[in-house]
Chains A and B, each alone.
Chain A
């Protein structure tokens, strides 16, 4: 059974971190990142060719993470695989004991390093959740045929509180949860006010009781990086006051860590937030410090939680 699910169900404030696979075949890259994070997070989220840049597969990277004794969350995007391949990989993931799946549509290939490629988008993330939920709970493939075997997986989805139309975002989350999302990892939060308003709507709809919401955070090394994200990364809102604060800092890297910790502490106080997801892109080494200084240690240990 998913350890992440056990941590969340037992009422602990969960901590997950993102691990990006390498643009190469060296398994050591994954091993090193996992070893850095072990003991500081409850699970690692392994991206599926994020920003449409070709990397080692999430599936293979998840197995390497498992070998290191750290629980993976396997991301699956619908950009590159149709319902045949996705269901097939779902069965493979179940067979190999990958306990968590995060269902995403994925960045459009024009954002990545093979913009000439053809995309798939046979289904969207909500349909993917529904297909996996039906395979697990109803024991049927998307076509209605019977599927055999145990499929004990914890299903998750992403959501952005910041994309337009803003007033539809919580309702869209409701659709994801109705489709099968048991946990949610949000887009990176820099604007806590908009996130708070979104969470109010989420709680008003009772969605926080139907799914665990993990607030996404990114530690940023510089004002320049923040500015880049503000202008180039879709679905991220960065207040100018934050950029000014970073610019004014003597040590911008240290300030970025400070901002991240403050954000974690703020979102942890918001009703309905069940955990935090730290996306330290190419800066995984900072995660232990952030987790420690945010007061999120020690992480719950096996044995402390009895599975339900």
Chain B
């Protein structure tokens, strides 16, 4: 899922400036599951804005990142001064594509693609590099989970299974080593992984996908 964290209230208030009538838009997908931008959080933020003196209301759509879900909102958006979107950055941009002429403010910071690892804890798992090689590393992505994205083994700072950069995080290479040892595939680690082709990643420029068979 896409994980986000709500921006601090003072930052949200600063964005709103002198707007009076505000619509808080939640999203029913990823950010609902990570408890930051769903219906409940949208209602909470709207009531908080009312306490602060705004004329605020909230609404939640199933997926803010799809135009067919948000099209019906165009008129409603036009009836307010500003919208706070509690979706990820994709949802915020999708709302702008409605061309409502209104300012849409991001209420969340989109943080990463990840998963809940235990109650109340989410961790990054994927970078979207566009050329998945997780299977070579026993199911732990070193590009995402090693601070230096090392492909050929741990750096010199791995200590007690933890990362030198973030000592409360597991060293990805310790996880890789332990898993491959269990699978009796430590020999995989002796292969020198060549420089990665990053052209499939964000570094290759803005990405898009076309499915010819799905075109109308």
The stretch of B11-19, B36-44, B151-159 in contact with A is: B151-159
CA distance A123 to B149 in the complex (A): 8
State whether A160 and B156 are in contact (beta carbons under 8 Å apart), knowing that A83-B195, A122-B195, A127-B194 are contacts in the complex. yes
State whether A178 and B192 are in contact (beta carbons under 8 Å apart), knowing that A105-B150, A108-B165, A164-B154 are contacts in the complex. yes
Are A105 and B165 touching (Cβ within 8 A)? no
- Nearest Cβ on chain B to A120's Cβ, whole angstroms: 10
Are B148 and A121 touching (Cβ within 8 A)? yes
Are A127 and B160 touching (Cβ within 8 A)? no
Taking CB atoms, residues of chain B closer than 8 Å to A158 are: 156
Closest A residue by C-beta to B177: A165
- Nearest Cβ on chain B to A121's Cβ, whole angstroms: 5
Name the residue in B147, B165, B195, B196 with the highest tally of chain A Cβ atoms < 10 Å from its Cβ. B195
CB contacts under 8 Å to B, within A144-169, are: 158-160, 162-165, 168
Are A163 and B195 touching (Cβ within 8 A)? no
Are B195 and A123 touching (Cβ within 8 A)? yes
State whether A163 and B192 are in contact (beta carbons under 8 Å apart), knowing that A105-B150, A119-B148, A234-B164 are contacts in the complex. no
Residue B61 is within 8 A (CB to CB) of chain A in the complex? no
- Nearest Cβ on chain A to B76's Cβ, whole angstroms: 39
Are A172 and B159 touching (Cβ within 8 A)? no
Are A174 and B190 touching (Cβ within 8 A)? yes
Question: Mind listing 23 A-B residue pairs with CB under 8 Å?
Answer: A108-B148, A108-B164, A110-B147, A119-B148, A121-B149, A123-B196, A127-B152, A127-B194, A142-B195, A163-B154, A163-B156, A163-B157, A164-B171, A164-B174, A165-B154, A165-B174, A168-B154, A171-B153, A174-B190, A234-B156, A234-B164, A235-B156, A235-B164
- Nearest Cβ on chain A to B77's Cβ, whole angstroms: 35
State whether A187 and B156 are in contact (beta carbons under 8 Å apart), knowing that A105-B148, A178-B192, A179-B192 are contacts in the complex. yes
Are A168 and B164 touching (Cβ within 8 A)? no
Are B153 and A126 touching (Cβ within 8 A)? yes
Are A235 and B157 touching (Cβ within 8 A)? yes
Are B157 and A234 touching (Cβ within 8 A)? yes
Closest B residue by C-beta to A167: B177
User: What residues make up the interface of A, taking CB atoms closer than 8 Å to B?
Assistant: 79, 83, 105, 107-108, 110-111, 119, 121-127, 130-131, 142, 158-160, 162-165, 168, 171-172, 174-175, 178-179, 187, 234-235
For B113-152 the 0/1 string (1 means CB < 8 A from A) is: 0000000000000000000000000000000000111111
Residue B28 is within 8 A (CB to CB) of chain A in the complex? no
- Among A122, A126, A165, A168, the residue within 8 A (CB) of B192 is A126
For B159-193 the 0/1 string (1 means CB < 8 A from A) is: 11100110000010110011000000000011011
Residue B198 is within 8 A (CB to CB) of chain A in the complex? yes
State whether A124 and B154 are in contact (beta carbons under 8 Å apart), knowing that A108-B165, A131-B195, A164-B159 are contacts in the complex. no
- Nearest Cβ on chain A to B179's Cβ, whole angstroms: 12
Are B155 and A171 touching (Cβ within 8 A)? no
Are A164 and B190 touching (Cβ within 8 A)? no
Are B192 and A172 touching (Cβ within 8 A)? no
Are B174 and A110 touching (Cβ within 8 A)? no
- Among A124, A142, A160, the residue within 8 A (CB) of B148 is A124
Taking CB atoms, residues of chain A closer than 8 Å to B190 are: 171, 174-175
Are A172 and B195 touching (Cβ within 8 A)? no
CA distance A236 to B155 in the complex (A): 12
CA distance A142 to B161 in the complex (A): 33
Taking CB atoms, residues of chain B closer than 8 Å to A107 are: 157
Are B192 and A111 touching (Cβ within 8 A)? no
Name the residue in B156, B174, B194 with the highest tally of chain A Cβ atoms < 10 Å from its Cβ. B156
Taking CB atoms, residues of chain B closer than 8 Å to A163 are: 154-159
CA distance A163 to B159 in the complex (A): 6
For B52-78 the 0/1 string (1 means CB < 8 A from A) is: 000000000000000000000000000
- Nearest Cβ on chain B to A4's Cβ, whole angstroms: 22
CA distance A108 to B155 in the complex (A): 10
CA distance A217 to B173 in the complex (A): 26
CA distance A168 to B155 in the complex (A): 11
CA distance A251 to B153 in the complex (A): 41
Are A172 and B165 touching (Cβ within 8 A)? no
- Among B155, B171, B174, B195, the residue within 8 A (CB) of A105 is B155
State whether A127 and B151 are in contact (beta carbons under 8 Å apart), knowing that A111-B165, A178-B192 are contacts in the complex. yes
State whether A126 and B189 are in contact (beta carbons under 8 Å apart), knowing that A131-B195, A163-B157, A164-B158 are contacts in the complex. no
CA distance A253 to B157 in the complex (A): 27
Are A130 and B192 touching (Cβ within 8 A)? yes
CA distance A234 to B147 in the complex (A): 14
Taking CB atoms, residues of chain A closer than 8 Å to B194 are: 127, 130
Taking CB atoms, residues of chain A closer than 8 Å to B189 are: 168, 171
Are A159 and B156 touching (Cβ within 8 A)? yes
